[in-house]
Amino acid sequence: MRAETRHSLKEDRFSRVTIDAAGKTMHWSAEHRKALAIAGVVTLAVVVAGLGGWYYFNQQDEKASVEFSQAIRTLDTQLRPPNMPGQPGIPSFTSAEERATAAHKQFQAVGDKYPHTRAGEFATYFAGVTASTMGDTATAERELKRITSSRDKDLSALAKFALASVYRKMNRPKEAIDLYKQLTDHPTASVGKSMAQLELADFYQDQQQNQQAKRIYEQLEKDNPNTEVASIASSKLAALK
């Protein structure tokens, strides 16, 4: 049965049930007009409140998006040599850490002010990333953990990927490996299976666990023939020999 037909049948059944229910309640409605009038007023109030809530959250999301964009611009600001003076009216930073510190404050403010917006969630993710760049691994872990449970699977995966890097910095190998394996088993558009596998293999190399790394690289070559992934895996394997 075609999808359109199934959909039409479902709509027909819904219509029949709705009409039958309306017929059964008609007599009751005539006898309870006052109660229905009150209920109608209450329903209208609920609808208006709902529209007001929608308008409020829409406004919040727009404000969050504007402030998030400003933070992104800060993060994208050019770096200049430490001995070179800045040009008037042109923002610049002397190091990635200095830039991350400035952007972090902005991202954190957006995340704190608009926690239930999409821009607010992304801001919290970037607050974690910039905290890691600053060397503040405790803050990075806290902020990124908040986003790993996001309903947005792509954003959640990015947070897990970044959090695994933080655990590597904190010398917490078990937690890093666990996250890479989660991402390998549940790939998303933002963090694909091969991406997670390459990072896991690289981490095994860092941990001097070359046999585990070798197995992953060999699997990547097999699963991704004639691709950039296979080329990377091949060069990594050559370095292990």
Could you tell me what percent of the chain has a pLDDT over 70? 76
- Can you say whether the dihedral through the CA atoms of 9, 10, 13, 19 is positive or negative? negative
**114-146 as b/e: b if 16+ CB within 10 A:** beebebbbbbbbbbbbbbbbbebbebbbebbeb
Interval 20-26 mean pLDDT: 37
Give the span between the Cα atoms of 41 and 10, in whole angstroms. Answer: 31
91 pLDDT band (50/70/90 cuts)?
confident
Residue 27 has pLDDT above 60, yes or no: no
Residue 231 has pLDDT above 80, yes or no: yes
87 pLDDT band (50/70/90 cuts)?
confident
DSSP per-residue string spanning 15-27? HHHHHHHHHHHHH
Tell me the pTM: 0.73
